[in-house]
Amino acid sequence: MKKSDFHFDLPPELIAQAPLAERSASRMLVVPPDAPPYADRQVRDLPDYLQAGDLLVFNDTRVIPARLFGTKDSGGRVEILLERLVGGHEVLAQVGASKSPKPGGRITLDEGTALEVLGREGEFYRLRFLTDEPLEKLLLRAGRMPLPPYIQREAGHDDLERYQTLFARHTGAVAAPTAGLHFDQPLLAALQAKGVQSGHVTLHVGAGTFQPMRVESVHEHTMHSEWLNVGAELCQQVARTRAAGGRVVAVGTTVVRALETAAQDGELKPYAGDTNIFLFPGKRIRTVDALLTNFHLPESTLMMLVSAFAGRERILAAYAHAVREKYRFFSYGDAMLLYPEAAP
């Protein structure tokens, strides 16, 4: 299996550069479990496809303003994109500079705080903020929201709110779980009124989610590591839902990764820790019955994950339909509701 097996042609003008004024107004392509026709709907229509007793699982991670700018001791300009908070005032980060910073070197942020370069860990730098101020408070003052690289504009004030889900609680992501961005209060109220339950996992999305696969063979790729927590309460909710005949519906690929990690021995159990699970066709996804997800980059690991869930040919055909119908792609774009491929 090759990376190029997951290629599709995407006109650049279909890459969403800003969110819609109303979250749930985004379009939703419904891909049925058997053959098309597809249904071209809106996310606010999601209650039409769910039943009382179904369980929606959200990722409640909170995005930090992870993009920082500063100057090295030598005077060279630096751009920092945090990858992960690792405890105390230390972080892993991508550092863009004309010359790589050396261990022991210092970077002074534009707002005045100094950082020490502790060393390299793979493709990331380990940095320490030289301050007693709580890191989250400092980032709110000094950082910018880390919009994805395919959004060709600077983050604005509106992004502080719109690149964050309504249910974001646990700080640590540097990219949003974008399927959750479509949910607003009217939609959540409509789902609750229908008797749809909700539960949460936490997976802190890293900047590695945007990094292209650098090998052609899918089997040679190593995923970046992300921290997650699947709690006992969520495991109990899933068990009750299944016992009552309800469906487990994942809101986003990060939820699938979290649940599949927590069920690697065949049973969903509480799990807290790192994961580098890689889901691609040939690996069965057993923890969810439907998936609401945005449209993903060509040849990306997320294209492979949704193909593992719904079938590669079905996904490529659905994406071709989305391109013809001018759906909006990627983080601020539209969504699709996927079901597993029907058994022959």
∠39-40-45 over CA atoms, to 5°? 90
Taken in order of first residue, the domains within the chain and their CATH numbers are 3-63+160-338 (3.40.1780.10), 67-142 (2.40.10.240)
Average per-residue pLDDT in the chain?
94
The pLDDT assigned to 213 comes to: 85
270-284 tens-digit pLDDT: 999 999 999 999 999
The pLDDT assigned to 320 comes to: 97
Task: Tell me the average pLDDT across 104-114.
Answer: 96
Say yes or no to pLDDT of 210 above 90.
no
- In this prediction the pTM is 0.94
The pLDDT assigned to 218 comes to: 92
291-315: buried (b, 16+ CB within 10 Å) or exposed (e) per residue?
bbbbbbbebbbbbbbbbbbbbbebb
Residue 82's φ and ψ, nearest 5 degrees, are: -65, 140
36 in Cβ contact with 50 (< 8 Å):
no
The pLDDT assigned to 343 comes to: 61
The pLDDT assigned to 159 comes to: 94
Residue 216's φ and ψ, nearest 5 degrees, are: -80, -35
Say yes or no to pLDDT of 288 above 80.
yes
167-206 tens-digit pLDDT: 999 999 999 999 999 999 999 999 999 999 999 999 999 8
Helix (H, G, I), strand (E, B) or coil at 182: helix
Say yes or no to pLDDT of 232 above 60.
yes
Query: Percent of the chain beyond pLDDT 90?
Result: 88
Task: Report the C-alpha gap between 105 and 16 in whole angstroms.
Answer: 39
The pLDDT assigned to 72 comes to: 93
